[in-house]
Structure 1
Amino acid sequence: MKITWLGHAAFLLEGSRRVLIDPFLSGNPASPVKPQEVDVDVIAVTHGHGDHLGDAIEISKRCNAPVVCIHELSRYIAMNGGNAVGMNIGGTAEVKDVRFTMVPALHSADVEENGRLISTGCPAGFVVELDGVKVYHAGDTDVFIDMQLIGELHSPDVMLVPIGDWYTMGIRGAVKALELVKPKVAVPMHYGTFPVINQDPEEFRKLAEDKTGVKVVVLRPGEGFEYP
């Protein structure tokens, strides 16, 4: 599998299918691509905030790609013309030969539309299984003790972990999250997009590798790596 960071919390997973997660591309100063440049089979969205839902509906329409997300957000996407697959925490859905298991996240969730806030269910993370590789996208979250269960139940190979602080856990929390989940590889995300979430990924790498032994891959937006 090739895993490419598109800035903020957006990732492209490429194997026998192309999976796009949290496609905040337009309006994202860190994104190396525009929505119309991305061709995908399926999209996953962790929650309805604009920096995660992003361009999902537009890309869904153009690519005829299902958007996998929490049930309430799926209704919003469908009402706006997107192809939505709603599910809920703890469930596993197989969509286009990709397995999506929805797991908890500690955050908030809504969509802003014409100056109104619309409730779109709770935030989530995903364990995505494609071609035998399991990638845990933690979504926007603080560290929480039940991450240990996610590790025990799903044994993710790669964890995509926020380190930006302010809106999510910071570096110390992210290191603890790796201790609980025990992935083989971790990739920091949700940092550096805006000044308020500026963090040093090399500091995270050093602390994480020294304390947990988990290999940390630091990417620049547009960069990817192959796993295994």
Structure 2
Amino acid sequence: MNTLTWHGHSNFQIATPTTNIIIDPFFHGNPSADSAWTDIARPDAVFVTHDHGDHVGQAADICKATGAMLGAVVGTAGKLAADLPAAQVVNGIGFNIGGTVRVGNVSVTMTQAYHSSESGVAVGYILRLDDGFTIYHAGDTGIFSGMKLWGRLYDIDVALLPIGGVFTMDARQAALACSLLRCRGVVPMHWGTFPVLDQNTRAFRAALENFAPECRLFELKPGEAHPFSKLPEEDCGCA
């Protein structure tokens, strides 16, 4: 069984029978987190999209305690892995936009994201399982036309997109992004965590009907583990 679990904000866990990956492990200090990182299954790898505190979260602590690999863009990887051996960092120094690494049965491709970062650059990730199921984690970003290229290159089953506005895409931009990405399903993220962000998904749902009505909306609750598998093209691929 493959599962996708949202731990609030931009914190997601992708688990297959053999591989467990965490992206942006913001647990402590996250008002929408459902649990502590010590409560989840041991990850094989932790990926970080950029070095803001609400995305780095407890990445270094998790890697130190569990032996998980740390994945991030060159520069940010060096900053976060100051106390980790190079062997515990993906590719020794991290990797870069357009590059692909493999963790267990999951291929992880780094994409650009349009956002600030004190080290390296902000990025997103496209994760592909052996059965072809494909997840795009956009990280913190505004909409950009290159999303259309990623949609052509990869058959994206589910996109994890920020919708909160102010620091990232708002609802309308995220809905149009679904059209560019040609994703079959979408999970909204980076909303409701703090008062400055959109507090619900109503505007996104309405915008999705306008810009990408064929895209299925999955509104996960923090801690909810959603099963997924590769299904025919007319379905989004989620069980």
TM-score (norm 1): 0.92
Deviation sequence 1:150-209 (CA, Å, 0-9, x none): 111122111000000000010010011001001111000001000001332133123214
Specify the SS of the correspondent of 1:79. coil
More strand by share: 1
TM-score (norm 2): 0.88
Q: Residue 115 of structure 2: which of 93, 107, 110 is its match? A: 107
In structure 2, the residue matched to 1:221 is 222
Query: Share of identical aligned residues, percent?
Result: 39
In structure 2, the residue matched to 1:87 is 95
In structure 2, the residue matched to 1:52 is 55
Letter paired with 2:53:
G
In structure 2, the residue matched to 1:23 is 25
In structure 1, the residue matched to 2:233 is none
**Preserved CA contact (<8 Å) 1:202 1:218:** no
How far is the alpha carbon of 1:214 from its aligned partner? Answer: 0.1
More helix by share: 1
Cα distance in structure 1, aligned partners of 2:72 and 2:147: 20
User: Tell me, which stretches of 5 or more residues in structure 2 are unaligned?
Assistant: 229-237
In structure 2, the residue matched to 1:115 is none
Cα distance in structure 1, aligned partners of 2:138 and 2:65: 27
Instruction: Name the Cα RMSD after superposition.
Output: 1.3
Letter paired with 2:75:
E
Cα distance in structure 1, aligned partners of 2:97 and 2:75: 12
**Preserved CA contact (<8 Å) 2:50 2:117:** yes
Is 1:11 matched with 2:19?
no
Greater displacement, 200-209 / 101-110: 200-209
List aligned pairs for 1:94-173, cutoff 5 A: 94-110=102-118, 120-131=119-130, 132-173=132-173
Cα distance in structure 1, aligned partners of 2:152 and 2:32: 34
In structure 2, the residue matched to 1:62 is 65
Cα distance in structure 1, aligned partners of 2:196 and 2:166: 7
Cα distance in structure 2, aligned partners of 1:130 and 1:54: 25
Q: Residue 75 of structure 2: which of 66, 69, 72 is its match? A: 72
Aligned length: 219
In structure 2, the residue matched to 1:187 is 187
Deviation sequence 1:128-153 (CA, Å, 0-9, x none): 11243111000000000110001111
How far is the alpha carbon of 1:74 from its aligned partner? Answer: 1.3
Letter paired with 1:107:
H
Greater displacement, 5-14 / 59-68: 59-68
Cα distance in structure 1, aligned partners of 2:104 and 2:89: 13
Letter paired with 2:14:
L
Specify the SS of the correspondent of 1:102. strand
